Amino acid sequence: MSQSARQAVLDGIRASLRRGPLPPETAAVLDTRLSRPEPNVVPAIALGDRRTLVARFLAAAEAAAATTQRVPPGEEGAAVADFLRAHALPAAVAVAADPRLDGLAAAPMLCVTRRGADHGAPTDADRVGVSHALAGLAETGTLLLASGPECPATLNMLPDVHVVVVRALDVVGGLEDGWDRLRRHAGAAPLPRTVHLVTGPSRTGDIEQTLQLGAHGPRRLHIVLIDDDPAAIRA
Amino acid sequence: MHVTSRAFHKNVRGAVADPNLRRSLATMKTGFRANRAKAAAALPEFEALRDAGAAIKDRTLAHLDHYLERFEARVEESGGQVHWARDGDEACRAVLDICRAHAARMVTKGKSMVAEEIALNAALEAAGIQPVETDLGEYIIQLRGEVPSHIIAPAIHVRKHQVADSFRENHPQFPADRPLEEPRDLLDEARAVLRDRFLTADVGITGANMLVAETGSTIIVTNEGNGDLTQLLPRVHIVVTSIEKVVPTLEDAATVLRLLARSATGQPMASYTTLSTGPRRPGDADGPEHFHVVLLDNGRSRMLGTEFRDALRCIRCAACINHCPIYGAVGGHAYGSVYPGPIGSVITPALASLEDAAALPNASTLCGRCEAVCPMRIPLPRMLRNWREHEVARRLAPARVRWGLRLWSFAARRPALYRAGTGLVARLLVRLGGRRGRLARAPLAGAWTRVRDLPAPPAGGTFMDQVRIKQSKARDGR
């Protein structure tokens, strides 16, 4: 079935376009464009100096109902503990096996279980999850999270509270800059299985169009920004 | 595609008499419309993005075969499989074959309009597989045994007390006297019930907002997180989607993403934009072990060769629906198609048949608001007119409509006759209107006067008469 259906659909498309299969030279031009993607219209909110971009990233994330915190390098563990205490949340946290979170996981005030790699997958019992973002997008306050052995994707979705650590050096302007990071991260391999662009906590308006935060995914999203970019630190 | 649009006029009479529906539709006008306007105004590049978005889709459609082949190759390279389907039956069969191969008994589903189009739930149930909708709106209408009445807010017609009734009836595991008055209570209950389903489903089915040829990724744009739990927890992820969803590159996807959420809900970005590429990789602790994409045609390749090609640019944001005065008065179910509103009235006759859906292109005032807000600049009013032309040309319109149009066009091409005729009718209406200046009944206007009076034209002749009088007065005054 599938081979003939495939041919029938492709033939139907070509009949409607009043041509046969593309000549190889045209196909080659299109393929070149695919291998060297060009940006289209990039809005001004995706541009700016380091300080502007980091400030805009945090402001846009808050506008999307995330909470944010800026901390000097090395203090992210204490910051997460403070956040959990301030909101009367348990100190038990499920932290991705990502080595960039080893310092946080060593914080004495947290009761840490690691997830991913040899530690297994996140579970429904993980109430607080901690992940590390590949990038932050200033344009919309969006976190870019890429799955991998040490970055299990369900940790972004199963917990009630999702804490994401992002470095100021990884805050970029817009989606195109995020794609650049992603392509560099993947190298010659296909993209990671799951790439999450997360903008605020989960929500729904499906009951009488009344906005409710906390639908099926996390009810809270907390961003811990590590101020490791001298050019982005507030004067 | 199952269409009941022949009952449109009957459905409308029921819809406008339904007080719950009127209340639901009223919130849509203040919510979606105001939010979209605010979001568009906040982004100076919004109009330029609309141009860019339409151009990307046009370029893609002109080489659709090529981009689909490239997409397929990338999916396979990343370990997934693509299944092509000419129509809904083939698409359902492809999904069923995959489910059977994994001995699936229960599947979770993220919101997918293509799955609605092919009536996938009915096919699954007939095969003894239980489909569980996990988007809150879809879950509500599944409990109520309904189809969506809006493409991004499927339960927009349901009021919260009706949701509470459905939950009490379908969730016997909770105490009968629990409070379910607030949307929060309802949401928390749905979250608890569905969490269990996410964790135990055998297969997860989602739709796709876009397919990326460059990377072989499928993209979903959601707010609840249900689409992610649906695709990440079961062993198998099936994406049910259609051929026009492909874009060449991630950069092209970025342009569409900047338009999509702003046009739909007024958000700069939805909570979750998720790229799914193949199954889980060696060493990954979670994610599906199998990844399948079912690519549906169902009339789209044929549409590509017609004057309705531009409608294939649609990104299903629902802006046209949210701004349509007809939809706002009658709601989605009256249309009798899973795709309601202006875009539905254009694509339903193309995907089903004009015979079944002829009422829909006529369910428009051609006010032009849909085109004014469409992020892809689809000329919807022009297309609605095109369908009306087909309707008349194919003699599908009622005889009296065709004769009326013939009479009108005969007169309209003879200005002297036209003016004499309108002058006569205007004078007649003034007389019939009497001192009240309005008519409770008028010949050939029964549909209008049944629910309201017809205002008589102002005395003093037709518009042309009055212009002539004004001009001669101006001349005399000089």
Cα–Cα distance measured from residue B247 to residue B47, given in angstroms and rounded to the nearest whole number? 20
Residues of chain A with pLDDT under 70: 1-3, 234-235
Of B48, B153, B251, the CB nearest to A209: B153
Residue from B118, B286, B295 to probe the interface with A (highest A Cβ count within 10 Å) = B286
What is the identity of the amino acid at B241?
A: T
Tell me whether residue B276 is exposed, middle or buried, using C-beta atoms within 10 angstroms of its C-beta: 0 to 12, 13 to 18, 19 or more. Answer: buried
Token pair listed for A29: 């031009």
Cα–Cα distance measured from residue B253 to residue B266, given in angstroms and rounded to the nearest whole number? 18
Which residues neighbour B49 within 8 Å (Cβ) at sequence distance 6 or greater?
A: A40, A41, A43, B43, B255, B258, B259, B375
Cα distances from B398 to residues B92, B346, B405, in angstroms, run: 36, 20, 11
Under an 8 A CB cutoff, do A41 and B255 touch? yes
Under an 8 A CB cutoff, do A10 and B271 touch? no
Cα distances from B282 to residues A119, B222, B292, in angstroms, run: 15, 27, 18
Inter-helix orientation angle B415-433/B399-412, to 10°: 120
Distance from CA of A94 to the nearest CA of B (A): 14
Tell me the count of A-B CB pairs closer than 8 A: 290
Q: What is the predicted pLDDT for the residue at B478?
A: 60
CA atoms within 13 A on the CB side of A44: 5
Nearest CA in chain B to A196: B274
Residue among A129, A141, A130 at smallest CA distance from A171: A141
Under an 8 A CB cutoff, do B284 and A205 touch? no
Buried b / exposed e across A48-85, counting CB within 10 Å, b at 16+? eebeebbbbbbebbeebbbbbbbbeeebbbebbbebbe
Cα–Cα distance measured from residue B251 to residue B212, given in angstroms and rounded to the nearest whole number? 10
Cα–Cα distance measured from residue A148 to residue B186, given in angstroms and rounded to the nearest whole number? 35
Distance from CA of B152 to the nearest CA of A (A): 9
- Which H or E run contains B109? strand B106-109
Token pair listed for A78: 């204490």
Contact between residue B8 and residue B334 where contact means Cβ atoms under 8 Å apart: yes
Under an 8 A CB cutoff, do A2 and B94 touch? yes
Chain B residues in contact with A214 (beta carbon < 8 A): 187, 191
Under an 8 A CB cutoff, do A193 and B280 touch? yes
Under an 8 A CB cutoff, do B85 and A16 touch? no
Residue among B77, B330, B125, B292 at smallest CA distance from B206: B292
Q: What is the predicted pLDDT for the residue at A1?
A: 47
Chain A residues in contact with B44 (beta carbon < 8 A): 43-44
Under an 8 A CB cutoff, do B286 and A31 touch? no
Chain A residues in contact with B31 (beta carbon < 8 A): 205, 209
Cα–Cα distance measured from residue B391 to residue A93, given in angstroms and rounded to the nearest whole number? 63
> How many CB atoms are closer than 10 A to CB B417?
12
Q: What is the CATH number of domain B20-301?
A: 3.40.50.10420
> Residue B223: helix, strand or coil by DSSP?
coil
| Alpha-helix runs per DSSP H in B150-295 | 160-170, 183-200, 226-232, 250-264
Distance from CA of A78 to the nearest CA of B (A): 27
First to last CA, chain A: 66
Chain B residues in contact with A36 (beta carbon < 8 A): none
Q: What is the predicted pLDDT for the residue at A235?
A: 56
Chain B residues in contact with A34 (beta carbon < 8 A): 70, 213-214, 248-249
What is the 8-class DSSP label of residue A235? -
Share of chain A above pLDDT 70, in %: 98
Under an 8 A CB cutoff, do B285 and A121 touch? yes
Q: Does B206 touch chain A (CB under 8 A)?
A: no
Chain B residues in contact with A117 (beta carbon < 8 A): 283, 285
Contact between residue B127 and residue B96 where contact means Cβ atoms under 8 Å apart: yes
Chain A residues in contact with B226 (beta carbon < 8 A): 215-217
Cα–Cα distance measured from residue A70 to residue A84, given in angstroms and rounded to the nearest whole number? 15
Residues of chain B with pLDDT under 70: 478
ipTM: 0.97
Cα–Cα distance measured from residue B109 to residue B230, given in angstroms and rounded to the nearest whole number? 6
Under an 8 A CB cutoff, do B93 and A1 touch? yes
Token pair listed for A27: 């196909």
Residue among A112, A153, A138, A141 at smallest CA distance from A201: A141
Under an 8 A CB cutoff, do B275 and A207 touch? no
Of B74, B233, B243, the CB nearest to A9: B243
Q: What is the predicted pLDDT for the residue at A175?
A: 98
Which residues are bridge partners to B240 per DSSP?
B294
Inter-helix orientation angle B380-393/B341-351, to 10°: 40
Q: What class is the A44-232 domain?
A: alpha beta
Cα distances from B375 to residues A179, B262, B370, in angstroms, run: 23, 9, 10
Residue from B284, B293, B294, B312 to probe the interface with A (highest A Cβ count within 10 Å) = B284
What is the 8-class DSSP label of residue B216? T
Tell me whether residue A45 is exposed, middle or buried, using C-beta atoms within 10 angstroms of its C-beta: 0 to 12, 13 to 18, 19 or more. Answer: buried
Distance from CA of A203 to the nearest CA of B (A): 5
> Residue B290: helix, strand or coil by DSSP?
strand
Residue among B272, B318, B244 at smallest CA distance from B67: B244
Q: What is the predicted pLDDT for the residue at B123?
A: 98
Q: Is the dihedral of CA A177, A178, A183, A186 positive or negative?
A: positive
What is the 8-class DSSP label of residue B5? G
* Structure-derived torsion over alpha carbons of residues A136, A142, A143, A148, reported in degrees to the nearest 10: -120
Under an 8 A CB cutoff, do B66 and A217 touch? no
Chain A residues in contact with B76 (beta carbon < 8 A): none
Cα–Cα distance measured from residue B450 to residue A28, given in angstroms and rounded to the nearest whole number? 63
Nearest CA in chain A to B56: A40
Q: Where in chain B is the domain with CATH 3.40.50.10420?
A: 20-301
Q: Does B64 touch chain A (CB under 8 A)?
A: yes
Cα–Cα distance measured from residue B315 to residue B244, given in angstroms and rounded to the nearest whole number? 9
Q: What is the predicted pLDDT for the residue at B452?
A: 86
Cα–Cα distance measured from residue A81 to residue A101, given in angstroms and rounded to the nearest whole number? 14
Under an 8 A CB cutoff, do B198 and A216 touch? yes
Token pair listed for A115: 């997830």
- Which H or E run contains B81? strand B81-85
Chain B residues in contact with A125 (beta carbon < 8 A): none
What is the identity of the amino acid at B211?
A: L
Of A17, A43, A149, the CB nearest to B43: A43
| Domain residue ranges of chain A, discontinuous segments joined by + | 2-35, 44-232
Model confidence pLDDT, tens digit, residues A59-84: 999 999 999 999 999 999 999 999 99
What is the identity of the amino acid at B337?
A: S
Cα–Cα distance measured from residue B238 to residue A152, given in angstroms and rounded to the nearest whole number? 20
